[in-house]
């Protein structure tokens, strides 16, 4: 054991004296700093967008209150419903300014995930109807597309393996090319001790250096402002990163046991990196499309058009409006309400939602299925396994976004349930207004309008990190064992 430790110490010193070691670590550190900075900038942009949405909501409420005070004065000007925020129906359809928001998680800067193409802000309104949950994004969020895919997760998942290959890819192989391996084999020492010292030295240096660099980069750029509630996840991610590094070191050791020389070893390792970074993820994406039945958006749009046409043309509209009124006490006897614009709109939207709910649910089911399937397919590559763990910890994965869209749809139903009884009550018993006032003045409960309550499940990141740690450890051991077996004796 003492001789093995001495070998490890000697090899560690040799690796640290190599200029290549410091060049690789310096390049990787610069990339980590840049990736963390870009992640922090993206999160800051998200927070700014959410703050802007909150300010917009506050301004809308203040404007409505000012308008209420102004409209409460007699005026000869005619005020239509679409100009009247003092009317519950007019406010709901024309002036309501609320958003469903997906705030960044404490670890959001780790990975861009779905957030580069799916904004964290949805304007919820009733000005028009749609069969889709994902068409009401704030266009301003699209500016984040300029950040591209280079982020902290990209550096760790894609570039770290290249750093490992650069430092460990030619261990033993280079000695074979130079003839040094024969001199080593002539000594009273086995190949396992030599390989253990060489690859152990690189593994120890890389694990310690990359973990330290990653932590410093996140701290120096302010990418992680608070670790409250995330310490366990961060610890698991650190273990997962270490397992990921050791996996690639084990791959280098296994390739070295082929005894094909340094050029061949590097070629095999780079090809493996290309396979698991590009080919396997692309194949997994194709498999996800083939294994899931994606609903047709064209069919949903056509169904939406048909439902609206059926209500607007012929006798379906009045009949469905009368049926909708029958569920409201005291409304069945009011034949005049069938032609009231606000009642027709509420009945139409209720009919629309009921008829198209199956289409909406099919898209939500597809989103859940594709997110679950992607998590399993990601296990085909250590790169995607680690990247998905980072996305899960960051809260930028597809599963969280699907849940966000579902909660935004539920919030829309909550708003409808808030406004509908007020609109119906005004239609049944119009509230008298001041003499000469043209506005309805029946709605001023602006602060009572329900607010969206965002949720964040921190356990999701914990579970994703734990799964990745277990799987990467298993794969790393699976690579190390055959290398250990093949290193039983020196090659002939």
CA distance 269 to 154: 19
Q: Are residues 126 and 98 in contact, defined by beta-carbon separation less than 8 angstroms?
A: no
| Residues above pLDDT 90, as percent of the chain | 43
For residue 448, the model assigns a pLDDT of 94
Q: Which among 144, 56, 43, 47 has a CA at the least distance from the CA of 99?
A: 56
Query: Per-residue pLDDT tens for 280-308?
Result: 999 998 998 888 888 898 998 898 888 88
pTM of the model as a whole: 0.88
Query: Per-residue pLDDT tens for 92-122?
Result: 988 999 999 999 989 999 998 765 567 788 8
What 3-state class would DSSP assign to 124?
strand
Query: Is pLDDT at 331 greater than 80 in this prediction?
Result: no
What 3-state class would DSSP assign to 121?
strand
Q: Are strands 121-124 and 98-101 parallel, antiparallel or unpaired?
A: antiparallel
Question: pLDDT higher for 357 or 182?
Answer: 357
CA distance 7 to 13: 10
CA distance 246 to 473: 8
Please give the backbone phi and psi of residue 101, each rounded to the nearest 5 degrees, phi first: -125, 150
Question: pLDDT higher for 148 or 491?
Answer: 491
Residue written as token pair 């008298």: 432
Query: Is pLDDT at 148 greater than 70 in this prediction?
Result: no
Instruction: Quickly count: other Cβ atoms within 10 Å of residue 336's Cβ.
Output: 9
Band the pLDDT of 311: cuts 50, 70, 90. Answer: confident
Those residues with Cβ within 8 angstroms of residue 258's Cβ, 6 or more apart along the chain or in another chain: 264, 265, 268
Can you spell out the DSSP letters for 417-433? HHHHHHHHHHHHSPPP-
For residue 233, the model assigns a pLDDT of 92
Residue written as token pair 């024309």: 94
CA distance 468 to 118: 25
For residue 141, the model assigns a pLDDT of 43
Low-confidence winner among 62-66, 175-179, 474-478 (lowest mean pLDDT): 175-179
Query: Per-residue pLDDT tens for 342-377?
Result: 888 888 888 888 888 898 899 888 888 888 888 899
For residue 322, the model assigns a pLDDT of 84
Residue written as token pair 């250590």: 382
Low-confidence winner among 118-127, 159-168, 194-203, 229-238 (lowest mean pLDDT): 118-127
CA distances to 271, 320, 335, 427 from 339, in Å: 70, 12, 8, 11
Q: Are residues 158 and 383 in contact, defined by beta-carbon separation less than 8 angstroms?
A: yes
Those residues with Cβ within 8 angstroms of residue 187's Cβ, 6 or more apart along the chain or in another chain: none
Query: Per-residue pLDDT tens for 245-279?
Result: 999 999 999 999 988 888 999 999 999 999 999 99
Low-confidence winner among 77-91, 321-335, 441-455 (lowest mean pLDDT): 321-335
Would you list the domain boundaries of the chain? Answer: 2-34+153-274+470-486
Low-confidence winner among 50-64, 132-146, 415-429, 458-472 (lowest mean pLDDT): 132-146
Query: Per-residue pLDDT tens for 386-420?
Result: 999 999 999 888 888 888 888 998 999 999 999 99
Please give the backbone phi and psi of residue 59, each rounded to the nearest 5 degrees, phi first: -65, -40
State the sign of the Cα–Cα–Cα–Cα dihedral 430, 432, 435, 437: negative
Question: pLDDT higher for 369 or 127?
Answer: 369
The count of C-alpha atoms lying within 13 angstroms of the C-alpha of 378, restricted to the half-sphere facing its C-beta, is: 24
CA distance 8 to 79: 85
For residue 22, the model assigns a pLDDT of 96
Q: Which residues pair with 123 in a beta bridge?
A: 99
Low-confidence winner among 24-38, 328-342, 344-358, 457-471 (lowest mean pLDDT): 328-342
Tokens of 199: 């690859």
Please give the backbone phi and psi of residue 189, each rounded to the nearest 5 degrees, phi first: -150, 140
Band the pLDDT of 139: cuts 50, 70, 90. Answer: very low
CA distances to 24, 227, 385 from 217, in Å: 16, 15, 22
For residue 115, the model assigns a pLDDT of 57
CA distances to 27, 257, 360, 457, 484 from 238, in Å: 20, 29, 40, 20, 26
Q: Which among 56, 71, 58 has a CA at the least distance from the CA of 443?
A: 71
Band the pLDDT of 142: cuts 50, 70, 90. Answer: very low
CA distance 52 to 199: 52
Question: pLDDT higher for 165 or 339?
Answer: 165
Band the pLDDT of 137: cuts 50, 70, 90. Answer: low
Write out the H or E segment, with its range, that includes residue 101. Answer: strand 98-101
Tokens of 492: 């002939």
CA distance 133 to 404: 10
Q: Which among 210, 243, 242, 155 has a CA at the least distance from the CA of 479?
A: 243
What 3-state class would DSSP assign to 187?
coil
The count of C-alpha atoms lying within 13 angstroms of the C-alpha of 388, restricted to the half-sphere facing its C-beta, is: 27
Q: Which residues pair with 124 in a beta bridge?
A: 98
């Amino acid at each position: 054991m003492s001789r093995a430790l001495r070998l490890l110490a000697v090899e560690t010193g040799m690796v640290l004296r190599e200029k290549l070691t410091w060049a690789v670590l310096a390049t990787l550190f610069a990339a980590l700093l840049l990736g963390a900075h870009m992640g922090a900038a993206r999160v800051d942009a998200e927070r700014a967008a959410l703050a802007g949405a909150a300010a917009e909501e506050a301004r809308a409420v203040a404007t409505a209150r000012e308008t209420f005070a102004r409209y409460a004065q007699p005026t000869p000007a005619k005020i239509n419903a679409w100009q009247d925020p003092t009317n519950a129906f007019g406010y709901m359809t024309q002036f309501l300014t609320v958003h469903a928001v997906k705030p960044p998680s404490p670890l959001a800067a780790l990975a861009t995930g779905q957030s580069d193409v799916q904004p964290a802000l949805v304007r919820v309104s009733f000005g028009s109807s749609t069969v889709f949950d994902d068409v009401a994004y704030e266009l301003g969020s699209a500016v984040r597309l300029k950040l591209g895919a280079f982020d902290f997760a990209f550096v760790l998942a894609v570039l770290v393996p290249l750093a490992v290959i650069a430092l460990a890819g030619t261990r033993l192989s280079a000695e074979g090319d130079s003839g040094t391996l024969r001199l080593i084999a002539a000594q009273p020492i086995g190949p396992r001790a030599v390989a253990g010292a060489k690859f152990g030295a690189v593994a120890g240096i890389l694990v310690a250096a990359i973990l330290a660099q990653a932590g410093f980069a996140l701290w120096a750029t302010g990418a992680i402002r608070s670790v409250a509630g995330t310490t366990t996840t961060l610890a698991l991610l650190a273990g997962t990163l270490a397992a990921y590094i050791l996996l690639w070191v084990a791959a280098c050791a296994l390739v070295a046991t082929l005894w094909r020389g340094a050029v061949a070893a590097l070629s095999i390792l780079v090809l493996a990196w290309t396979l698991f970074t590009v080919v396997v993820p692309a194949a997994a994406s194709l498999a996800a499309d083939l294994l899931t039945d994606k609903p047709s958006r064209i069919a949903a749009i056509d169904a939406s058009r048909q439902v609206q046409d059926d209500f607007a043309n012929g006798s379906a509209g009045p009949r469905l409006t009368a049926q909708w009124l029958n569920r409201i006490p005291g409304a069945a006897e009011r034949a005049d309400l069938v032609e009231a614009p606000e009642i027709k709109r509420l009945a139409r939207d209720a009919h629309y939602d009921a008829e198209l709910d199956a289409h909406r649910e099919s898209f939500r089911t597809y989103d859940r299925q594709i997110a679950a399937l992607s998590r399993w397919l990601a296990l085909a590559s250590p790169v995607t396994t680690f990247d998905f763990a980072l996305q899960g910890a960051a809260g930028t994965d597809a599963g969280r976004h699907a849940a966000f869209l579902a909660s935004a749809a539920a919030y829309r139903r909550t708003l409808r349930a808030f406004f509908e009884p007020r609109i119906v009550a005004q239609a049944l018993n119009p509230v008298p207004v001041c003499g000469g006032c043209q506005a309805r003045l029946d709605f001023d409960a602006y602060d009572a309008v329900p607010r969206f309550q965002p949720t964040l499940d921190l356990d999701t990141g914990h579970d994703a990190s734990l799964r990745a740690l277990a799987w990467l450890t298993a794969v790393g051991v699976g690579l190390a064992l055959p290398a250990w077996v093949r290193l039983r004796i020196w090659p002939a």
